[in-house]
């Protein structure tokens, strides 16, 4: 080799990333390794047929494997020094050249059969959801989804053999989809991806129609009247988004089925209380809210709420793309926090529904000052919607007072009970309207009877918007519009003859109501109700047949072994004969619903006449009076001859058409005339179906166009239903109208005369607790009494009557009572611990008391039931006294009711010198006669109870005599009455 040249050759300036083809046999220099970007010195000797060991390992690998040139990253133009060598020629016989063997081609990718491959792709796309794929008349789950679906739904788990191995699968008929979807989504809290069949040029594809999650669940049972018993009749399906924006938190919640939407702004520490009040089914939480993440998870676990923590930037939808809200009036006035929450909510809903998006009403701002605040403790302790013991509906205040007859009315009643009014004029308006129906039983019963005929306009409209409605929904909508019109006319006639305050309010509400009677007329002129009913009968027969085939299909799937083609299932069934008689056609539209439809029906009738003529012609030709023209799925259009005489006649005439099936008494065969005519007949039917669908679509658009009017009708019918419910229970149980005062009145009054607990009619008689009088202007009421004498029930009763009064209802008092409006109700009842939140019972009690001290006002009502009993008596006594004094003196809370067994606490409170007139002592008690018999005095009287009578009560409920006697001895010793 010659001496290296000192001359350097500078390469031209290169891009950031470039490739160089370098003659490695003649070059030495520096190489940039693309992975590590480190310099490696190398020098390649001339004419070497093996990879030089001097090269760095990455370069040796590239040369040995004949790979493409390296990528060089050259931040600065590199300098390569070239080495000149002597020119030599080497001659090598071709036979001695060793060539590498040609590379072995990769085997072709083996995929699953199309339907399974499509399901596999969807499962990879949605790993956290259950994917249900439509296959003919079944929905099927595959792979890891199959065992889960089989377990949750209790259906059989099968296996399908494919060229890539055995695949687990589970399926069910499409007729079972509503029931199974409710189980998976509503009961189990799963997300379900529904893939439907779509015909394309390349074949049948399975497209994601929508993703069903707990908060976007729409499918419901067929009952829309609200007569359903149990909690299913009162459930709301709220979807809530929680987004951090600045120092505050924005909330937005919507119920997709009804289209109702609300927004509000709150502090971060108020989010949990809002979750308890709204009771969403699903929460979308900004993942930046790390401080409340664990709290929301705890709330979700306790209440069955599905909480999802999401990246807001990835999912939020710009307001410019808000196609979910058609009426955008007022949106520009929303706060940034509210907008951020709506962006997340609408983005999620758009993602879940795909192309068919719901229509949501413009969001309504929730104003805290307009309603009494009931935090999660108050809702749970007072059992407004659910009972504290088991979280059930039976026994709650909602269950007790509910007399609504529509689903919309029940929803509104629940909303009213959880958000009582703060406005005295609005409360009095409701009371005035209720009083009209209390005084007129005929009107009350007549209107309730008519309301039972209505259906839920909100859900019907939303289904039609989503393309899920059917003719039944349109018929129900038209009837509801007619009923609303008749209710308006009845109220106008009645109220025009009676001039009352409530009548004026009602008349004003309904006078301005625009009833879209024209829409009802259009629907009634188009929909053929008799035809719709006939279609239901045919569909029921088809569903029954599908149910019979289901087990055969599952069995066939287990045995099916296929290659790359889609499995073909053979199910044995009897040939299904189509009912082709003109009287058995089921049309959903009237024949004269449109000119085009009328023309199509006339042409169809012409084909029926031709069919009759052909039937008669063939009967005469074949001398077979039993000959009929039929169609079946297996034989298509065919001629059917029944009877031995007819068969014999065919033979005598020398007519022996090629038989499709034959027996001694029947024969079927094809006739070209019938095949041609039958094809035309079926084509005409199909054209009529297309025309009906087009007309149905136009009716849907008319309904959507009248959405605003329909929403107002729904609002008034729901309000009327709740008012009639209040009047009904007042009449049934003899409740009275309370006097409600503004909180600005000097003396804040809670005067309950002969009051009882609202749930008393549902409870056994011994549970009765009556307040004979509670009317003195005391701001602090200390309640004492024996165990089981009704102190806790009394506290709840006071809170519940306050709620009922502020929603405009009558209350369970035999005499007229008076209450002052309160802005919040605080309760300290039945504290519990939480392992997840590392919260003991004592800590829970302290946190509840802290909430009272932090948020209580002069207009609040505080109900304390034996607070701080989870610690030692001395500390509990000291803390309770300190809290009461703080609330009473510094905060001047409007009304505090304290139930206690601490006699010393009573003495300490009795010694208060300041504001002594504002402290009252009330008690329950027991009676005892000369024979030793005793019982509870459940009426509340003024004074202080002498003791808890705990040992006597313990013996009464069944504790052994020995244990009670020993306890008496110990108690006497502790009290110093005798030594032991």
Residue 839 pLDDT level (bands cut at 50, 70, 90): low
Residue 76 has pLDDT above 70, yes or no: no
As a whole number of Å, the end-to-end CA separation of the chain is 117
pLDDT above 60 for 505: yes
pLDDT average, residue stretch 542-552: 60
How far apart CA 235 and CA 258 sit, in angstroms, is 12
Token pair recorded at residue 969: 């001895």
**Is the Cβ–Cβ distance between 458 and 358 less than 8 Å?**
no
Among 456-470, 916-930, 952-966, the range with the most confident prediction by mean pLDDT is 456-470
Q: For position 152, what pLDDT does the model report? A: 94
Confidence of residue 537 (pLDDT cuts 50, 70, 90): confident
Find the mean pLDDT for residues 814-835. Answer: 75
CB contact at 8 A, 704 and 779: no
- The answer on pLDDT for 214 being more than 70 is yes
Range of weakest confidence among 27-41, 239-253, 890-904: 27-41
Q: With beta carbons less than 8 A apart as the criterion, state whether 143 and 164 touch.
A: no
The reported pLDDT for the residue numbered 398 is 93
Counting Cβ atoms within 10 Å, is residue 961 exposed (0-12), middle (13-18) or buried (19+)?
Answer: exposed
Strand partners, 173: 138
- Rounded average pLDDT over 805-811: 95
DSSP state of 286: E
368 CB neighbour count, 10 Å cutoff: 16
Highest mean pLDDT among 8-22, 35-49, 130-144: 130-144
Q: Is a pLDDT exceeding 60 seen at residue 79?
A: no
pLDDT tens-digit series, residues 333-373: 888 899 899 989 988 998 898 888 888 888 888 877 788 98
**pLDDT value at position 315?**
77
- For residue 191, what pLDDT band results from cuts at 50, 70 and 90? very high
Q: Given this model, what pLDDT does residue 938 score?
A: 61
Q: How confident is the model at residue 134 (pLDDT cuts 50, 70, 90)?
A: very high
Kindly state the average pLDDT of the residues 89-103.
Answer: 67
Residues 32-54 have a mean pLDDT of: 44
Higher pLDDT, 493 or 203: 493
Rg (CA), the chain: 40
Predicted confidence (pLDDT) per residue in 649-703, tens digit: 666 555 566 666 777 677 788 888 999 999 999 999 999 999 999 999 999 999 9
pLDDT of residue 731: 94
Cα gap 344→354, rounded to integer Å: 16
Q: How confident is the model at residue 227 (pLDDT cuts 50, 70, 90)?
A: very low
Q: Looking at per-residue confidence, does 954 or 112 come out higher?
A: 112
**Binning pLDDT at 50, 70 and 90, where does residue 63 land?**
low
Ramachandran angles phi, psi of 455, nearest 5°: -125, 170
Confidence band, pLDDT 50/70/90 cuts, at residue 725 = very high
- Give per-residue pLDDT as tens, 786-802: 766 667 888 888 899 99
Q: Please give the pLDDT value at position 964.
A: 67
* pLDDT band per the 50, 70, 90 thresholds, residue 645: low
pLDDT higher than 50, residue 48: no
Cβ-contact 200, 172 below 8 angstroms: no
From residue 700, give the alpha-carbon distance in Å to each of 626, 695, 727, 858.
Answer: 46, 9, 37, 53
Q: How confident is the model at residue 715 (pLDDT cuts 50, 70, 90)?
A: very high
Provide the pLDDT confidence category of residue 28 given band limits of 50, 70 and 90: very low
More confident residue, 624 or 128: 128
Residues 119 and 342: their CA atoms lie apart, in Å, by: 33
Neighbours of 695 (CB within 10 A): 19
DSSP 442-508: HHHHHHHHHHTT---HHHHHHHHHTT---HHHHHHHHHHHHHHHHHHHHHHHHHHT---HHHHHHHH
Joined together, the tokens standing for residue 885 give: 């004094």
- Does the pLDDT of residue 254 top 90, yes or no? yes
How far apart CA 315 and CA 306 sit, in angstroms, is: 18
Cα 293 to its chain centre, rounded Å, is: 21
Report pLDDT for 781.
Answer: 81
Q: Which residues of 281-294 are buried (b: 16+ CB within 10 A; e: fewer)?
A: bbbbbbeebeebee
pLDDT band at 815 (very low <50, low <70, confident <90, very high): confident
Instruction: Domains for the chain: give ranges and CATH numbers.
Output: 9-89 (no CATH), 112-212+532-566 (3.40.1170.10), 220-366 (3.30.420.110), 595-703 (1.10.1420.10), 734-948 (3.40.50.300)
Q: At 415, give phi and psi (nearest 5°).
A: -65, -40
Between 912 and 134, name the one with better pLDDT.
134
How remote is the C-alpha of 222 from its chain's centroid? 17
CA torsion 549-550-552-553 (nearest 10°) is 110
**pLDDT at residue 581, rounded to an integer:** 61
pLDDT of residue 885: 79
What is the tens place of the pLDDT at every residue in 859-885? 888 888 877 776 777 777 888 788 887
Percent of the chain past pLDDT 90, that is, above it, reads 29
């Amino acid at each position: 080799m010659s001496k290296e040249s000192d001359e350097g050759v500078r390469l031209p300036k290169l891009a950031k990333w470039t490739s160089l083809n370098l003659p490695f046999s003649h070059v030495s220099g520096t190489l940039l390794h693309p992975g590590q970007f480190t310099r490696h010195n190398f020098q390649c000797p001339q004419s070497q047929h093996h990879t030089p060991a001097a090269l760095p390992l990455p370069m040796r690998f590239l040369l040995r494997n004949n790979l493409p040139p390296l990528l060089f990253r050259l931040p600065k133009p590199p300098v390569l020094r070239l080495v000149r060598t002597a020119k030599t020629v080497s001659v090598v016989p071709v036979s001695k050249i060793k060539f590498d063997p040609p590379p072995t081609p990769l085997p072709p990718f083996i995929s699953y059969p199309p339907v399974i491959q499509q399901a596999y792709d969807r499962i990879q796309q949605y790993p956290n959801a259950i994917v249900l794929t439509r296959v003919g008349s079944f929905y099927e789950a595959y792979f890891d989804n199959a065992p889960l679906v089989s377990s949750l739904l209790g259906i059989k788990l099968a296996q399908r053999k494919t060229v890539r191995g055995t695949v687990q699968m589970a399926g069910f008929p499409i007729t079972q989809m509503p029931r199974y979807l409710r189980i998976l989504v509503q009961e189990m809290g799963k997300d379900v991806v529904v893939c439907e069949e779509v015909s394309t040029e390349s074949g049948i594809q399975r497209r994601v129609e929508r993703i069903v999650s707990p908060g976007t669940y729409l499918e419901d049972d067929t009952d829309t009247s609200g007569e359903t018993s149990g909690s299913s009749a009162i459930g709301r399906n709220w979807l809530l988004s929680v987004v951090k924006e600045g120092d505050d938190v924005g909330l937005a919640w919507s119920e997709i089925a009804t289209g109702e939407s609300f927004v509000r702004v709150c502090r971060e520490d108020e989010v949990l209380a809002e979750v308890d009040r709204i009771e969403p089914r699903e929460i979308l939480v900004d993942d930046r809210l790390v401080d409340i993440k664990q709290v929301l998870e705890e709330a979700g676990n306790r209440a069955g709420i599905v909480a999802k923590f999401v990246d807001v930037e990835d999912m939020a939808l710009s307001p410019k793309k808000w196609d979910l809200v058609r009426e955008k009036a007022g949106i520009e006035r929303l706060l940034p926090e509210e907008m951020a929450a709506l962006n997340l909510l609408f983005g999620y809903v758009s993602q879940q529904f795909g192309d068919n998006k719901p229509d949501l009403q413009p969001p309504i701002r929730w104003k805290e000052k307009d309603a009494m605040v009931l935090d999660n403790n108050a809702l749970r302790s007072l059992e407004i919607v659910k009972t504290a013991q088991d979280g059930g509906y039976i026994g709650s205040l909602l269950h007790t007072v509910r007399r609504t007859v529509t689903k919309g009315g029940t929803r509104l009643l629940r909303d009213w009970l959880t958000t009582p009014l703060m406005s005295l004029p609005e409360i009095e308006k409701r009371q005035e309207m209720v009083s009209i129906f209390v005084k007129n039983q005929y009107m009350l019963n007549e209107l309730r009877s008519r309301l039972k005929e209505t259906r839920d306009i909100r859900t019907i409209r939303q289904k039609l918007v989503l393309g899920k409605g059917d003719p039944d929904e349109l018929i129900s909508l038209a009837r509801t519009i007619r009923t609303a019109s008749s209710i308006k006319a009845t109220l106008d006639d009645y109220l025009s003859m009676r001039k009352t305050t409530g009548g004026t309010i009602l008349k004003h509400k309904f006078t301005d109501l625009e009833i879209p009677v024209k829409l009802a007329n259009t629907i009634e002129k188009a929909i053929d109700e008799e035809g719709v009913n006939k279609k239901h009968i045919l569909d029921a027969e088809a569903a029954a047949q599908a149910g019979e085939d289901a087990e055969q299909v599952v069995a066939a799937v287990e045995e099916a072994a296929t290659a790359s083609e889609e499995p073909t299932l053979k199910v044995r069934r009897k040939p299904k004969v189509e009912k082709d008689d003109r009287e058995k056609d089921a049309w959903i539209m009237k024949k004269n619903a449109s000119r085009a439809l009328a023309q199509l029906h006339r042409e169809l009738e012409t084909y029926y006449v031709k069919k009759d003529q052909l039937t008669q012609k063939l009967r005469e030709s074949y001398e077979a009076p039993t000959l009929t023209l039929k169609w079946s799925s297996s034989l298509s259009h065919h001629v059917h001859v029944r009877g031995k005489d007819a068969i014999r006649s065919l033979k005598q005439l020398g007519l022996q058409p090629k038989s499709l099936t034959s027996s001694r008494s029947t024969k079927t065969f094809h006739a070209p005339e019938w095949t041609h005519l039958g094809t035309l007949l079926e084509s005409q039917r199909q054209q009529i179906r297309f025309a009906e669908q087009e007309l149905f679509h136009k009716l849907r658009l008319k309904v959507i166009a009248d959405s605003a009017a329909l929403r107002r009708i729904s609002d008034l019918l729901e309000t009327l239903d709740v008012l009639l419910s209040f009047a009904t229970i007042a009449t049934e149980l003899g409740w009275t109208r309370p006097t409600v005062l503004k909180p600005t009145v000097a003396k804040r009054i809670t005067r309950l005369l002969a009051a009882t607990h609202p749930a008393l009619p549902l409870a056994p008689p011994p549970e009765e607790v009556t307040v004979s009088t509670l009317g003195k202007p005391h701001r602090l009421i200390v309640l004492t009494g024996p165990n089981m004498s009704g102190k806790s029930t009394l506290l709840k009763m006071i809170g519940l009557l306050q709620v009922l009064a502020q929603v405009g209802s009558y209350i369970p008092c035999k005499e007229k009572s008076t209450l002052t409006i309160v802005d919040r109700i605080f309760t300290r009842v039945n504290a519990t611990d939480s392992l997840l939140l590392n919260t003991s019972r004592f800590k829970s009690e302290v946190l509840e008391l802290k909430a009272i001290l932090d948020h209580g006002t002069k207009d609040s009502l505080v109900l304390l039931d034996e607070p701080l009993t989870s610690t030692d008596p001395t500390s509990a006594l000291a803390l309770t006294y300190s809290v009461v004094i703080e609330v009473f003196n510094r905060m001047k809370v409007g009304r505090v009711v304290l139930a206690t067994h601490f006699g010393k606490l009573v003495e300490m409170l009795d010694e208060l010198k300041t504001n002594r007139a504002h402290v009252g002592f009330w008690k329950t008690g027991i009676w005892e006669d000369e024979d030793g018999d005793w019982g509870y005095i459940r009426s509340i009287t003024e004074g202080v109870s002498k003791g808890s009578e705990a040992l006597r009560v313990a013996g009464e409920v069944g504790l052994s005599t020995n244990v009670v006697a020993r306890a008496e001895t110990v108690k006497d010793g502790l009290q110093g009455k005798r030594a032991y």
